[in-house]
Each structure stands twice: as C-alpha cells, then as structure tokens.
Amino acid sequence: MSAETEVPAATPAATGNFLWSLVEGDLVSGKHKSPVTRFPPEPNGYLHIGHAKAIYINFGIAQDFKGRCHLRFDDTNPVKEEQEFIDSIQRDVRWLGFDWGTHLYYASDYFEKLYGWAEHLISNGHAYIDDQTAEEISANRGTLTAPGKESPFRSRSVDENLDLFRRMRKGEFPNGTCVLRARIDMASGNINLRDPVLYRILHAHHPRTGDAWCIYPNYDFAHGQSDSIEHVTHSLCSLEFEDHKPLYNWLLDHLPVPSRPEQTEFARLNITYTILSKRHLTQFVRDKHVRGWDDPRMPTLAGLRRRGVPAPALIDFIKRAGVARANSVVDIAMFDACVREYLNKAASRYMGVLKPLKVVIENYPEVQSEELDAVNNPEDPSAGSRKVPFGRELYIEQDDFMENPPKKFFRLSPGTEVRLRYAYFITCREAVKNAAGEVVELRCTYDPATKGGNAPDGRKVKATMHWVSAAHAVNAEVRIYNPLFTRPDPGADGDPVQDLNPASLELVEAKLEPALATANVGETLQFERLGYFCRDADPGLVFNRTVGLRDTYAKTQ
Ligand code: ATP
Ligand code: MG
C-alpha cells in the first residue's frame, strides 16, 4: 500500500484551510503516521469563543486524521490558577463535543523533568542565575532597534550556577532574588532570544503540586518540552506565539528531548462587539459588570451555553469564520445567523407574550375554553403537535396593536381583522383606555367559523399574531440580552469598561403558554415571532433570550 492510500481523508467541511493541508501533507510524505495535537489552556479563567476555535482546530484535526488530541493544563503560574477553572474547562471542551480520552495532562506533572532539563542547560553552559532585579532585567533587555546589555552575572561558572539553582529550589531565597536565564544572545533581533527568563522564585501554593515547589518554569520553558514529552507532532497556536518559535526551537535543540514537535501559528478569532481576553473578562466578573463567568452576555462558553447557544451552531460558526494566518474580525451578525439557522431546524415553537395587552373576546362564552392544535416545528414534521388553551380573555403583544395605524401597519387596530395563530380570526371593536389615556384592554369579537385560522368563505387577513390565554398563562421572567458593548470595537479607545452597554440586560415579566412551565433547563425553544429562548436554572420560571429572529446589529452599526 502506498503512503497516500493510508491517509484518512479529512471531512469535506474541514478541508481547504492551511492547517488541515499541513497535517495532510505530513501524513502523505510519511513524516508522521498520525497527528498528535494538544489544546493547552491556562486554568486562570473560563474558556471563551476564541478558545473554541483553538479547540476545534486541535481536536478537529485529531478527529479528521484519526490521531489524538491532548487536553493539557498549562498550570505554571500558581498565583492565578484555580480548580474551578480546571473543572469548567473540562466541562466546556466536552460540551463542544470533543473528548481527550485518557490524554489529560498537566504541565505541573512535568515539573521534575523540566527541573532536570534546566540543570542540563546549566551544566552545558546554556543557562545562568541572574541576580539582577526584574526592573534591571527589563531595562537591560534593549529595544526593537537597540541590542540588550549583558548581565554582570552572565559569566558565572557552571558550578556556581548549579549551586545557586539548587538553593533556589530548596527555598533559600525570597521571591525575586534571582532567576534562571538561558544564555543565548543579548543582541538578537528577536527579543525573546535575549537571554529569556526560564525559572522564577515563587513561594506560592500550587493547586496540584501543593508546596513541593517554590520555583516555577515560565510558559516558554514549559510549553515546547511538554509538547515533546507528549510526542505532540503539530503544536498549533495563535499568532502571538510566532516570535516565541525561535526560542521554542532553541530549547528543543539544546535539550535531550524525546521528540520534535513543530509549532505552527494561526490567526486568533476576533468578533465585533466582543472582547476575547481573559484579563478583561476576569475584570468584568470581579467588578460585577456582569453576573458571573456564565452570564449569558459573556462570550464564555459557559455564558453562551446558558444563553441557549447549541454547541453545533458554535462549531458551524467557527468553521465558517475560517482558519487562516491573516488576522481578521468576524461580524457578530454572522454568529447570530449561525445560531438562528441551527435553531430554526431544531427548536420547538411555543407562544409567549413579552409585553402583554389584554384582549377580551366579547362573543366568546365566559365559561368556555378549548384546546387548539398547534404545530411544534414547521421545519420538522416529526416534532408533532400540541394543544394550546384558548379562552375569552387573551394577551397579545402591545406592539401588535395601534390605535391610529400608519398605512403599512396590518396588525390589530380598531375595525381590522387579524388571525390569531392556530385559533380564530378576530376583529377589534374598541380600545379601552385608563385615566392616563393609555390603551389597557381591547374589546374584540371572533368568528367561530374560522377555527384553526382559515375562513370558509376564503376571506384573507394580512396579519397572523401570537397570543396566550389569560386564564391559562404562566408568568415568567424573561431576560433579554443586548450587545454587551455600545461599539463594534470595544476597548479601541482604552479601557473596554467605558464601552459597556448600560442596557445590555432587560428584564421582562412575560405571559407564556402553559406548556412552557415544564420546559427543560438548557433546551432552546422558539417563542413564535420573537426569537429563541432557553430556560435558565435559576429558581422560578426564567428564560434567557438566545437570539432574536432578525438581525438587530445592522441598525446599531
Ligand atoms: P486570553 O488572551 O483570552 O487571555 P490566552 O491565550 O491567554 O487567552 P490560554 O489559556 O493560554 O489563553 O489559551 C489556550 C489556547 O487558546 C492557546 O493556544 C491560544 O492560542 C488559544 N486562544 C486563545 N484565544 C484565542 C482566540 N481568540 N482565537 C483563537 N485561539 C485562541
Ligand atoms: Mg495565553
């Protein structure tokens, strides 16, 4: 069998981007038998939709080419990392539909190995202990145009360096006394190669290794070596690591590592009206600008899930946004469109009224009520139908009535006839007002011959409206989410907190058809003519609006 025939084909949806082609090429050429990738989050916050792109790439490649993808926690900074984040990350990756099997790893599992490799560098004269302060190190690093200045401690002997490094590990020095640096080139055009810091002293409790360590490797010293230990073939990361690649390779070149991974970069996902930076998201949570990491206004996976966004819609969005090397910003309207498209097929329809206006059907008997047949999903006949109660008193949307309608308004107004979905034609006879002159009730009549929503005489109406029976309706709190920011490029003028939208959350007391009282938490449903909504786990009956039926960004831009 030739090498070509052994290569599993990528799924059609995934092919056509440079990363899939790269992996495919490496399999075809025989460089690798099967790809090993990894998703390496730092457990210092919840995952966001940008991470979903990295997850899709790494797990997607493993899936499509029958390789494997590791979940590796990059837990080298004990000060910011928490078990809550480790748990949420695992939950979110699973929710997206991916599975690491037995391949769950922690950079902290390699601390002993990494320490040994640090001694190896020292022994070969490739690393030294620097007693300069952090400020001095940074001042002596030079600039993009000027070379750096060599540390006065750079020529310490191997023995002295080994002795100091061992004493660092033993805890003899307080935080900040000294660091381990690679001895590379203070004049390098790449600042990452100007004797980068590899280890620092940090007397801090680590969620996994406890108090075993008081020195911790930094990202660069942990990442490539962890990839190598795990026999990762393709180390795929976002573009900000491009300048770190020479250091990644330098370390692999100078250490007795078991395998040679190769780093390739792709562009981060950026979306209008959205901040994808853990630092800022942490700030929004800490300063209570939102109600937590899983607030449905947050771009976190936990927030999107709570809002009712189905994982397949999110993956579809990531695929359509594309995988490339060039940075770009994707329109949030495209995300909403993907969610709508998925839910249009999947979501069951119900009726709910967000801004209720009472309607009394004067010729409908007071004691009577009936159950009418309603279609659950016109896009999916197998979803069947349900019964909706109808009675003399109903609620319709306030917006569906106008006392003095302009020409193009075809919904209810005095004297007009409209269809109540699944029910009857009704005609408005009178608008009852309160002392302030506001319409508080409509007196209407219905035509009993139009049951089901069609007139036997063939007469037409121009509008079909949703409604709920007042006697049967259940009350619910509906949380309407608007964009979290007032501008498409939040933070462009500094702190994104200044761009937060004060109207990002609207609370509405809604009247819903009774079947919604038993809706499942987390199941996204359509409220006809209004949008998609998802029951929240909060006590009582609470729904989050996932997305409206139409694009609302177009007019805010
Ligand atoms: P943030 O910038 O939000 O703090 P991060 O890069 O510090 O994120 P990590 O936990 O280090 O967060 O990220 C894990 C992986 O996710 C990294 O490989 C990173 O490249 C990738 N990633 C993070 N943000 C994005 C994004 N917006 N688009 C694509 N990949 C991303
Ligand atoms: Mg990072």
Say whether pLDDT at 276 is over 90. Answer: yes
Q: Is 306 a catalytic residue?
A: no
- The SS3 of residue 304 is helix
Confidence category of residue 4, pLDDT binned at 50, 70, 90 = very low
- Which of 425, 296, 431 is closest to 360 using CA atoms? 431
Q: Is 268 a catalytic residue?
A: yes
Q: What average pLDDT score do residues 311-331 get?
A: 96
Task: Find out whether 418 and 447 touch, Cβ atoms under 8 Å.
Answer: no
Confidence category of residue 439, pLDDT binned at 50, 70, 90 = very high
Q: What average pLDDT score do residues 158-176 get?
A: 98
Burial 260-284 (b: 16+ CB within 10 A, else e): ebbbbbbbbbebbbbbbebebbeeb
Q: Is 200 a catalytic residue?
A: no
Q: How far apart are CA 302 and CA 279, in angstroms?
A: 17
Give the tokens for residue 154.
Answer: 């750079």
Name the catalytic one among 183, 200, 278, 545. 278
> Ligand 1 centre and the CA of 289: distance in Å?
22
Q: Tell me which H or E stretch contains 216.
A: strand 215-217
Ligand 1 binding site (Cβ under 6 Å of any ligand atom): 40-42, 50-51, 53-54, 237-238, 268-269, 276-279
Confidence category of residue 554, pLDDT binned at 50, 70, 90 = low
> Ligand 1 centre and the CA of 265: distance in Å?
12
pLDDT in tens, 350-381: 999 999 999 999 999 999 999 999 999 999 99
pLDDT score at 5: 42
pLDDT in tens, 496-506: 999 999 999 99
Give the tokens for residue 548.
Answer: 């409206």
Name the catalytic one among 42, 393, 441, 477. 42
How is residue 401 annotated by DSSP? B
Q: Which domains does the chain carry?
A: 270-346 (1.10.1160.10), 349-556 (2.40.240.10)
Q: Tell me which H or E stretch contains 117.
A: helix 111-123
Q: How far apart are CA 141 and CA 332, in angstroms?
A: 40
User: What percent of the chain lies above the pLDDT cut of 70?
Assistant: 96
Say whether pLDDT at 556 is over 50. Answer: no
